[in-house]
């Protein structure tokens, strides 16, 4: 049986470190690090994520405000709000919850965020810095939260040098997870393959992986025959599936029960990567506050 990768415990340890850092920063600067979360519309999943981000920020001694905007909003007023948040010196981090409604130009909104306050790491400047980084963690870049959480879990599981030379397969090429994670794993000296919907033999590619990260949003796609015995498997998928009795439950992209029989280690859903995403957001908010105080851009 695979070892369980406990994202809840890892996230609690990271939040503990961020709480200490936030308290020290507040003592020095006279105020805690401050996060602004922008939520457009009322999607239940987004509402839940945003509430949990703001609550966790406050738990670690940061301050957080949620700005709720109507689902009918256009690109211009959204960009104007971001321009205002960029100007305000007491705002350290800005996060715009995705997805945005179809009428909004998402790349334009993300590009409007001051890169120094971009705690999601989605601004093209921060994406470019990550793409070119030799050592993204010591360079203190603002790295997208889910990939950063994945890297931390892999380092916990395999040891700091345990990633070197490993065949890593990233399933999914989104700008939120797949692409930045591929850049991070490459910087960690893995041999990286990105598998996507047009790949000819996704199962065969995944079977070659020593490290497999599934991030496609397809419930249970990765079955036993997709995973080499002894692989380390991270499941980024968070899919709500309906059950016959009318209730629903969260499942990942990996068929957990069957893959857990042969993998060396596996992260569950829920309780795996998800909690690390939020903890990494708090880490990035503290990092943005520190960097801005030191005059960084």
Which positions lie near ligand GUN, rule CB under 6 A? 95-98, 120, 145-146, 176, 277
Residue nearest to ligand GUN (CB): 98
Query: Min. distance of Cβ 122 from ligand GUN in angstroms?
Result: 7
Query: Min. distance of Cβ 110 from ligand GUN in angstroms?
Result: 9
Query: Min. distance of Cβ 106 from ligand GUN in angstroms?
Result: 10
| Residue among 114, 120, 156, 253 flagged as catalytic | 120
Nearer to ligand GUN, 97 or 193 (CB): 97
- In total, the chain counts a number of residues equal to 297
Nearer to ligand GUN, 97 or 157 (CB): 97
Nearer to ligand GUN, 118 or 210 (CB): 118
Nearer to ligand GUN, 126 or 146 (CB): 146
132 classed as catalytic: no
117 classed as catalytic: no
Query: Min. distance of Cβ 203 from ligand GUN in angstroms?
Result: 26
- Residues annotated as catalytic are 53, 97, 120
């Amino acid at each position: 049986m695979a070892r369980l990768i406990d994202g809840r415990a890892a996230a609690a340890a990271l939040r503990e470190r961020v709480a200490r850092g936030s308290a020290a920063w507040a003592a020095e600067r006279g105020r805690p690090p401050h996060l602004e979360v922008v939520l457009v519309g009322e999607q239940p999943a987004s509402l839940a994520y945003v509430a949990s981000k703001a609550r966790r920020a406050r738990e670690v001694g940061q301050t957080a405000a949620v700005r709720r905007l109507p689902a009918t909003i256009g690109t211009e007023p959204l960009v104007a709000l971001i321009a205002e948040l960029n100007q305000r010196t007491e705002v350290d981090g800005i996060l715009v919850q995705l997805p945005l409604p179809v009428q909004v130009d998402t790349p334009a909104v993300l590009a409007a965020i001051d890169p120094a306050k971009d705690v999601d790491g989605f601004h093209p400047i921060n994406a470019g810095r990550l793409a070119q980084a030799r050592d993204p963690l010591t360079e203190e870049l603002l790295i997208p939260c889910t990939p950063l959480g994945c890297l931390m879990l892999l380092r916990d599981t395999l040891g700091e040098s345990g990633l070197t030379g490993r065949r890593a397969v990233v399933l999914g090429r989104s700008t939120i997870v797949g692409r930045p994670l591929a850049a991070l794993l490459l910087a960690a000296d893995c041999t990286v393959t990105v598998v996507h919907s047009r790949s000819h033999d996704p199962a065969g590619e995944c079977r070659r992986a020593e490290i497999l990260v599934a991030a496609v949003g397809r419930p249970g796609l990765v079955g036993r025959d997709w995973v080499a015995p002894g692989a380390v498997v991270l499941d980024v998928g968070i899919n709500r599936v309906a059950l016959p009795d009318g209730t629903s439950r969260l499942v990942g992209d990996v068929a957990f029960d069957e893959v857990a029989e042969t993998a060396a280690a596996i992260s569950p859903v829920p309780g795996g990567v998800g909690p690390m995403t939020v903890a990494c957001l708090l880490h990035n908010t503290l990092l943005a506050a520190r960097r801005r105080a030191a005059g960084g851009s």
